[in-house]
Structure 1
């Protein structure tokens, strides 16, 4: 089993789930953006964190 999702299938399923009509002319761009998002998320998920790091209970910029 792979960790990679099929971006086109994901776009179609999410659009159907939320009842969003997706213009066929716009679909390739939406799929391309989901692929970019997937690549960025993969980098974040692969970033190693030390075991002693704890999640902050409150976000303070």
Structure 2
């Protein structure tokens, strides 16, 4: 399955509507840049191969 590239502009516009936010046009490029940087960081984390028996994180039990 081929993944589509992350579209930070579309994501920010969608989440703005979903969350009921109003992002000032002056701030929009900055918000989009931060979302793109977060997506790149997430892609790095998700690209790390893990064996099936390895837990990616411990389970918190209070």
Corresponding residue for 2:59?
A: 57
CA RMSD of aligned residues (A): 1.7
The aligned length equals 59
Structure 1 gaps, min length 5: none
Structure 2 alignment gaps of length 5 or more: none
Q: CA deviation at 1:2?
A: 2.8
Matched, 1:26 2:27: yes
Q: TM-score, normalised by structure 2?
A: 0.82
Q: TM-score, normalised by structure 1?
A: 0.83
